[in-house]
Amino acid sequence: MHDQLREAERIENRIIELRRAIHQKPELAYHETATARLIAKELRSLGVEVRTKVGGTGVVGLIRTGKPGKVVALRADMDALPVQEEADVEFRSRKKGVMHACGHDAHVAMLLGAAALLSRRRKELGGDVKLLFQPAEENGGKGGAKPMIDAGAMDDPKVDYVFGLHISTDFVSGTFGIREGPFMAKPDAFDIRVKGRGGHGAAPHRTVDPVYIAAHVIIALQGVSGRLVNPMSPFVISVCSVKGGTKHNIIPDEVLLQGTIRSFDRKIRSKAVEHIKRAVSSTCQAYGGSCTIEFQKETYPVVYNEPRVTARVASVLRRIPKTRTVEAGMRLGGEDFSRFQQKAPGTFYYLGCNNPSKGCIEPNHSSRFKVDEAVLKYGALSLAEVALEFAR
């Protein structure tokens, strides 16, 4: 596959240029209009059919072959995060408080790179290839995959296989991480309102102190994951936001706790939700308070990599020169790529961009997150090769 890598190397500068252009102008969920324009323009210049405003700001490219083989979809997400960039790069975000801290700029650039490679090798394809540029992956349960699917992104021509990749400093630069079966967790979000009766900080006995009760609730929640869920099953509860009170000496009426559960197993999840409801409400009652517990209704499903398809993807990745392919562990992060997988079997995999010599070591979502751009050509090539493997 050395010739194919040389092709990818020839367009490497363009991929990096596109990535930096997007990086400088990051856009938050469902506001990716300039990014979508850039994508549409680039695709048209490659002779790819383009549909815009799919499910909001989404873009669908179609590389038509006129052949009857399988239809393959490749997906990239486009949204940035509400983070103030602190990375020491010359193409820093020009938007205050917004940054491509999860590397979705790199995903877009790699998929555009794959589009360039595939449009040149159109003759080798046995079926059509769809390019899905998705808005709002980082949007809790209301991610951009579902509106794109609802707008017909997976139909006409109907998609047979779907693939996507994520860049991450969890893996060494040039390493592909892939796993068959359940790969990424179902992310649930909850709001717990601990209700008491406020008053003076000097006279707690005349109040029902929701701050004190909330502290016990947080401990009780750890008991659910630590004592009530089978330790052999990946599961976590994190309380990530505590809001309540206004001043040093006022006990408030209410405290709001917000957090997330990550799980893989449907039964374990529903049991855990019952445990949480019981543990939280009885803890609140024990101290004379009360509570409401709400779980977000729409959440992403588990990312499930169909084993036979994924084994084929892994064998394609292993052929890419100068890279390494490893079996990744299960991950408790969520991804709405899973919504596409509910429409067609497919695989989500990782591409490492951790390179200490270039200072690319901070985790995704960090304000100092940096991508080792030398890996982008491998990502673009991998997507193109996976499409060539399955579109036949």
The residues annotated as belonging to the active site are 300, 373
The nearer residue to Zn ion, 60 or 78, going by C-beta atoms, is 78
Contact window for Zn ion (CB under 5 A) among 101-109, 213-221, 240-248, 382-390: 101-109
Residues 6+ apart with CB under 8 A from 30: 56, 57, 79, 135, 136, 139, 144
The nearer residue to Zn ion, 23 or 193, going by C-beta atoms, is 23
The nearer residue to Zn ion, 139 or 290, going by C-beta atoms, is 139
Distance CA 260, CA 35 (A): 30
Fill in the per-residue mask, 243 to 262: x = in contact with Zn ion (CB under 5 A), - = not in contact: --------------------
Asked if 332 is part of the footprint of Zn ion (rule: CB under 5 A), the reply reads no
Asked if 102 is part of the footprint of Zn ion (rule: CB under 5 A), the reply reads yes
Nearest distance, CB of residue 5 and Zn ion, angstroms: 26
Q: Where in 170-209 is the site for Zn ion (CB under 5 A)?
A: none
CA distances from 179 to 10, 109, 309 (A): 30, 24, 11
Nearest distance, CB of residue 182 and Zn ion, angstroms: 18
Residue count (the chain): 392
Question: Considering CB under 5 A, how many residues would be counted as binding Zn ion?
Answer: 1
Cα torsion through 34, 40, 44, 46, rounded to 10: 90
Q: Nearest Cα to 162, choosing from 307, 375, 338, 378? A: 338
The nearer residue to Zn ion, 102 or 116, going by C-beta atoms, is 102
Nearest distance, CB of residue 366 and Zn ion, angstroms: 11
Distance CA 261, CA 191 (A): 11
Residues 6+ apart with CB under 8 A from 62: 48, 49, 50, 51, 128, 129, 130, 131, 157
Amino acid at position 370, single letter: K
Q: Where in 300-319 is the site for Zn ion (CB under 5 A)?
A: none
Nearest distance, CB of residue 274 and Zn ion, angstroms: 30
**In the bound complex, which residue of the shown chain has the CB atom lying closest to Zn ion?**
102
The nearer residue to Zn ion, 102 or 314, going by C-beta atoms, is 102
Contact window for Zn ion (CB under 5 A) among 44-52, 97-105, 155-163, 313-321: 97-105
Cis peptide before 157 (omega within 30 of 0): yes
The nearer residue to Zn ion, 157 or 333, going by C-beta atoms, is 333
Residues 6+ apart with CB under 8 A from 369: 87, 99, 101, 102, 103, 169, 362, 363
The nearer residue to Zn ion, 102 or 302, going by C-beta atoms, is 102
Asked if 106 is part of the footprint of Zn ion (rule: CB under 5 A), the reply reads no
Q: Are 251 and 195 in contact (CB under 8 A)?
A: no
Contact window for Zn ion (CB under 5 A) among 95-103, 126-134, 167-175, 324-332: 95-103
Q: Nearest Cα to 93, choosing from 28, 173, 36? A: 28
Nearest distance, CB of residue 184 and Zn ion, angstroms: 11
Nearest distance, CB of residue 279 and Zn ion, angstroms: 30
CB count within 10 Å of CB 267 equals 10
Amino acid at position 333, single letter: G
Nearest distance, CB of residue 317 and Zn ion, angstroms: 20
The nearer residue to Zn ion, 109 or 208, going by C-beta atoms, is 109
Q: Nearest Cα to 372, choosing from 206, 174, 105? A: 174
- Phi/psi of residue 294, nearest 5 degrees: -125, 135
CB count within 10 Å of CB 22 equals 26
Asked if 280 is part of the footprint of Zn ion (rule: CB under 5 A), the reply reads no
Nearest distance, CB of residue 381 and Zn ion, angstroms: 21
Contact window for Zn ion (CB under 5 A) among 102-110, 152-160, 267-275, 321-329: 102-110
Which spans of this chain sit near Zn ion (rule: CB under 5 A)?
102
